[in-house]
Amino acid sequence: MADLNDKQTFSDEDALEFHRSPTPGKISMAPTKPMATQRDLSLAYSPGVAIPVLAIAADVDKAYDYTSKGNLVAVISNGTAILGLGNLGHMASKPVMEGKCVLFKRFADVDSFDVEVKTTDPDEFVTVVKNIGDTWGGVNLEDIKSPECFEIEARLQDLLDIPVFHDDQHGTAIISTAALINAAHVAGKRLEDLRVVLSGAGAAGLSSIALMKAAGVKLEHTIICDRQGVIYQGRDNVSQWQAAHAVDTPLRTLAEAMVGADVVLGLSAKGAITRDMVASMAPNPIIFAMANPDPEITPEDVLAVRSDAIMATGRSDYVNQVNNVLAFPYLFRGALDVRARRVNHEMKVACAKALAALAREDVPDEVAAAYRGRKLRFGRDYIIPTPFDPRLIWYIPPFVAQAAMDTGVARTPIQDMDAYRTQLRSRLDPSAALMQNISGAVRAAPNKRVVFAEGEETAVIRAAWGFKQAELGTPILLGREELIRKNAAEAGLNFDEMAIEIVNARVSEHNADYVDWLYERLQRRGYLKRDVQRMINQDRNYFGAAMCARGQADAMVTGVTRNFNMVLKEVRRVLDVKERMIGLSILLARGRTLFVADTSIHELPNAEELAEIAIQAAATVRKLGKTPRVAFLSYSTFGNPPGDRGEKVREAIRILDQRGVDFEYEGEMPPELALDPEARAAYPFMRLSSHANVLVMPAIHSAVISTRLVQQLGGATVIGPLLVGLEKSVQIVSLGASVSEIITAATFAAYDEGAVAEA
């Protein structure tokens, strides 16, 4: 096997085993409809399938409504240019095409499958794809050699009424254009003033130059070089696609062209660019060495001669990776969602500009986690987003869809772009729909003042800023102003522009009032006044909770720097329990929203406590816009086998029977009876009208272990535990919580009692 990368962290056998086990290949098919009953089979096939057949025969566009066409992309290749390895045959391309299908699904929830065409003749290839093209909502051409790829794409786009996109050309063009927009910004230069040199006049290079011109780079400021040197007007042995970019210039070599250049794009081969060439460039040179697996020049060589350079490569082990996965999933997502007839220049420019804009936003902690904790901030080492940025799915496609609508290639325009963004979030993040409803209710309610108790922590500062930007309420940071400003600046935030209130507990005008009030509350619990003074001065949980108790704030979020139990004890010394206090976790899995209680307060609840946990959980779920159906879970199924814990659950049911509560409940039972109504044939007396959505656990250990196990296995998203029942709204996040987790907790803290629409 060839040595593809001297820095790869796996062996050839590792790669083969990955593709071989446990099932050969990387993709499979899963049905979207149940096949559990005779009725299901009749609807899916004969005779039910005849109905959509007749509807599509009458109107072919109905295929988008009654089949998977609208979310289906074909990844098609003939294997003539596989990963820079050359023409290895159509079947050798299959692992790459399957990999592309995996990326479509993973990053944009686009279904796709691969088609390997056994021909190197462009006419035959076009004929094959033309005759099967109506099957899909779009076609992604891959690993087809230049210049045939230009002809094939152009002809297929004319012949088919769906988007046809050659990713090796246009994916690279979109990402490099996005990177150029931001690199120019960092360098303090304008696109229209940039002198750009291209090394490598193949498909990717020519498409990149073309898109950069569409974005603002001027034709007369570009020079293209191939193996023979500069492509100038009048030169022989150039293709029609290369000739379209030829300029009138006396320069004849790449070295000559790079003297004084602002930008060099490398899409050629290892070693094509030298240190001397880089040294001759203009100040703050922009160098995109994108050849794979080895760039035209390494960042180390560039740094040896230019400390002011802005560098990007095609590799993941250097900063600023030009990775096509940033473009093609989201470009197709937007195109498919408006049923676009083609991908045009305007859609590609919109995608590039959206990627550039996203890189200038604050970077979520989830991205740092994917990159081993490396903090990313817009600048020389971060000019394009990373593939694991969770915002890509909802940020990029709307710009693409809007461009398709504006240029008239969309069959079904999107009427509500905000609703579309919400729907996109839900595709890969099952918590998105619920959080959208909660956030909407918070914005619609009177503005809440939320205390961020650990205000000196960088993650908390960023969360407070995100909370304010999202118009979820008014954040208040507790801490020393000098340190907060310092940490904000290190995070790339201008605190004066943020305009967030800072409260220093030690010098607050309310300090004396809080001390007197809390001392009166605690004086018969063994506390001296000086103890209380120290608590208010030095512990922000006491001070923040006092702000809520005394009316200077409405809610509070804390817990980033201390464990849950310690924080809860401090808050409980200031605030009373209004109702039964519980921890309620929200578990989102396979299209279901489940609420699990109690996940943080009661270690081994007795029957009375189990009943009250159910009542509190049901009330909270109703406030969140859901109709509660409570199941008391147990190892026992209605008394079999018998045991003490099962008896406590049965007693809780008797208590609820006596109280006459206004929600459905049943127990004791294992999870399968609670969640699957069809499993209940042997228990016709069960009172739940459908599957349970509130699960009351018999003890805290079973609650915590089960939710964390499901989350760890990748089967669900878990929010919480949310703290319910205090007289004032306080949410305690987990130790070291991310920015998004803090914002989520703050949003629930600000949430009012008004119900929201069902998610």
Dihedral over Cα of 375, 377, 380, 382: its sign: positive
Helix axes 607-623, 644-659, angle to 10 degrees: 60
Which is nearest to 456 in space by CA: 430, 491, 508? 491
Q: What is the DSSP letter of 61?
A: G
| C-beta of residue 74 within 8 angstroms of C-beta of residue 112 | yes
Cα 604 from chain centre: 38
Active site residue 100: yes
Separation CA 178–CA 356 (nearest Å): 5
Separation CA 553–CA 556 (nearest Å): 8
Interstrand relation of 555-558 and 729-732 (parallel, antiparallel or unpaired): parallel
Q: How many CA atoms lie within 13 A of 289 on its CB side?
A: 28
Q: Is the peptide bond before 642 cis (omega within 30 degrees of 0)?
A: no
Separation CA 177–CA 348 (nearest Å): 10
Q: Where are the beta strands (DSSP E) in 663-702?
A: 664-669, 694-696
Separation CA 54–CA 72 (nearest Å): 21
**Residue 433: enclosing H or E segment and its boundaries?**
helix 432-444
Note the maximum CA span of the chain. Answer: 97
Separation CA 204–CA 90 (nearest Å): 21
CB atoms within 10 A of CB 247: 15
Separation CA 498–CA 336 (nearest Å): 38
Report angle CA 461, 463, 465 to the nearest 5 degrees: 70
| C-beta of residue 183 within 8 angstroms of C-beta of residue 286 | yes
Look-up of token digits 């063009």: 173
Active site residue 64: no
In the three-class reduction of DSSP (H, G, I as helix; E, B as strand; rest coil), residue 325 is classed as helix
Dihedral over Cα of 96, 100, 101, 102: its sign: positive
From the list 7, 26, 45, 569, the catalytic residue is 45
From the list 100, 348, 448, 626, the catalytic residue is 100
Q: Which residues contact 401 (CB under 8 A, 6 or more apart)?
A: 334, 335, 337, 338, 410, 414, 417, 420
| C-beta of residue 319 within 8 angstroms of C-beta of residue 287 | no
Separation CA 581–CA 612 (nearest Å): 9
The torsion of the CA quartet 319, 325, 327, 328, rounded to 10 degrees, works out to 160
CB atoms within 10 A of CB 428: 16
737 phi, psi to nearest 5 deg: -60, 150
Q: Is the peptide bond before 641 cis (omega within 30 degrees of 0)?
A: yes
Separation CA 730–CA 721 (nearest Å): 12
Residues acting as catalytic residues: 45, 100
